[in-house]
Structure 1
């Protein structure tokens, strides 16, 4: 049967036409969107990109575009004030640059906003020029960005499903099938050869199996081997029993699940929050303390959702379920615990205790003072707690055993710079014993009473 050429020609022409039409339509749509954005920017007389930067620097702590926070939502604020309240841009200039002055002057709408938002006056921004405010208004009037389509992330060393290569599962399946066929063929050939030999009168002799002494019986009859084996088993049992008993009370690697997931990787790593901002009592107290939830709310009154790392989540985070939605859900748990009304931006008074699971726990007979190590000794938190800034789930990094502490006292040099107390001790030890590097052990850090009082 001959090929019908005109059908193939018609298909090609139709495909090219559809491709050209979709491309031109997409280009026209992009042009329309760009024209709309340009019209919005021109209407506000500002630069949207620059306005976004200024908004994040000055406004984002108290305002969102489409959501009420400490202050009102600012999406299309200029047009809303113009249409609903009859105000103009000059009023906005005056309000942003000097809101307390507007309130004191008796302006009706300024006092209305002041009363509605708990009589908390907006911070004045006298350094912002009219052009800067125009840029911010242009950003608030711009349409929201299109949602980003999620991209499938392949695991390290893997390939996406759209690749043209053959997957490893198919190759392994084919090899297993070939191997199975070879085994079946060998069995069939063996049976066929046996039938041919029997038909020709060939008698196949069976192999003579010599009767041997069982290995267990031979082992039991060898008294020297039995004695050596018993001694070896006793020593091995004692070694493993000693190792097991030495691990009693050692919880290195312990990583319990907390009622509210807290990522040290995001807070201490990505956002560079200092450890002692939350654990402030470590400077002045024996204990580092569990931060109160109002410390969390210092930031999370304004940070109500997690927008993710600009580089996107890693394959490991996606595999463990650490998505933007997951972290936002944990923030909602915090709001529920402190009794925060997200919609009205105020506390309801209906709080719930959070039962945190303790991770680091020394025995009661061991004395450890955080302030002595942190404030006096200048020891970094990571020395004992490990790379906290990399931990998604907090775990016990060090064994916290007596031997581990003693080794630290023996090896760690005391920082004598700008410390008159330690400098004086170092000077006396240098005169009497010729000590160059002062350690904790040299100052009595190995005495029993230092830790066991």
Structure 2
């Protein structure tokens, strides 16, 4: 009796080939090359015997309010000044420019008139060595912009000889397609060979009753299925309705990119410097662009260290230019043109109209930090809604937060009575009436 021929188990070999190709392509990729930093560390100092590092500290603390190194601001750009002026003249001008102008020095008078007769601050406390350090810093060559790795083509990100991920995946897909075709052809050929030699191929099992027919004939299974279906619909509908109006994680794109990471994080600007009305008003308020210009009259570009892989230095500089266009600030004349454009900011945190929330009550009276509701804003590149801002979330906060009674005569007066009533040392906002409906809905 002839034995029936089983279909060959080719999947085992197919899996081994796939594993080999995956391992080869993974470990065969070139390692990412580090960016070249150039030979900036070997450049000569423009002023002999000076320390540019100390000069940078002095420049940032004394000069940066009116001067930039490579661009005109309130005063002229300082890069190349040692070539335009004599060092002895620079010492006199920096220490007391008005005295030099009154002496009738032609260069001093010409410079004073050229820059709209804006008086330069006197710095008699600076020594000649201090001035040398500052000038050594201002004379450093302008750094070349870093290549934006994120914007570079995929093939270039791995270096000149690397293979991009797209090419590897494409080749792997082609190989898998070819192997599938080969598997089909081999299987078909073996079946024909078996039939030609009279070897029966394993027959398929006889078809039974369709599963849906068997299910429909079983009334118990139908009843159980209907009950589970109704429960699933009810649970899903409840979950969907409970998420209506909950925008946790909402992260809209603003017309001007504002990085809280840079302002509140790296520069440690206090939240209430921009959102000043949060101290005294129900609303935190949208900062006026004039608040931005308090700093950005001078800060026209960011430092290269501020850039990230996703956001380059050029990107941040372009966003500052959008601010200038909106306020009508002319960097060449350091004045306003009067031609302004509205900035349509996108609101992120928005409570329902029937819910009352007062920022000043929480910020000034309760002393709650902004991060408690808004999350770690100092780490956010793009601002998003950190908390759900639901009723349950607010109630839990009132139940867990102790109020501050010190320095508040009203709270001090009733603290003793309420402490005895609840048998506690500290009173929460809930025990002070923070769960009453009328506190937030009226």
- The 5 A counterparts of 1:225-236 are 225-236=221-232
Mind listing any 5+ residue stretches in structure 1 that lack a counterpart? 1-29, 83-88
User: What does residue 325 of structure 1 align with?
Assistant: 314
Residue 147 of structure 1 is matched in structure 2 by 144
Q: How much does 1:415 deviate?
A: 3.2
Q: Shift of the alpha carbon at 1:181?
A: 3.8
Partner of 1:26: none
2:335 maps to 1:350: no
CA distance in 2, matches of 1:255, 1:445: 30
1:377 corresponds to 2:377: no
1:214 CA displacement: 2.1
Structure 1-normalised TM-score? 0.77
* RMSD of aligned alpha carbons: 3.2
CA distance, structure 2, for counterparts of residue 380 and residue 278 of structure 1 = 15
CA apart distance, 1:406: 0.9
Aligned to 1:304: 300
Alpha-carbon distance in structure 2 between the residues aligned to 1:166 and 1:268: 38
Tell me the residue number matched to 2:124. Answer: 126
- Counterpart in the other structure of 1:57: 61
The secondary structure found in structure 2 opposite 1:309 is: helix
Change (3 A) 1:246 1:109: same
Match of 2:78 among 58, 74, 79: 74
Matched, 1:256 2:255: no
Query: Which of 308, 317, 320 is matched with 1:313 structurally?
Result: 308
* Matches of 1:208 and 1:381, distance apart in 2: 69
* 1:192 and 2:193 correspond: yes
Change (3 A) 1:60 1:221: same
For 2:164 and 2:286, the matched residues in 1 are separated by 53
- Cα distance between partner residues in 1 of 2:202 and 2:108: 109
Secondary structure in structure 1 of the residue aligned to 2:132: helix
Conservation of the 8 A alpha-carbon contact between 2:261 and 2:380: yes
CA distance in 1, matches of 2:312, 2:71: 22
Are residue 394 (structure 1) and residue 383 (structure 2) matched?
yes
Of 182-191 and 100-109, more deviation after overlay is shown by 100-109
1:19-98 map, 5 Å: 37=44, 40-42=46-48, 46-82=50-86, 89-98=87-96
Q: Flag the 1:174–1:93 CA change in 2: closer, same or farther, 3 A.
A: same
- Three-state SS of the structure 2 residue aligned to 1:435 is coil
2:21 is aligned to none
In the alignment of these two chains, the number of paired residues is 395
Q: 1:420 to 1:110 in 2, by over 3 A?
A: farther
Contact 2:282 2:360 survives alignment (8 Å) = yes
Residues 196 and 205 of structure 1: CA distance in aligned 2, closer, same or farther (over 3 Å): closer
Q: Which residue of structure 2 aligns with residue 413 of structure 1?
A: 402
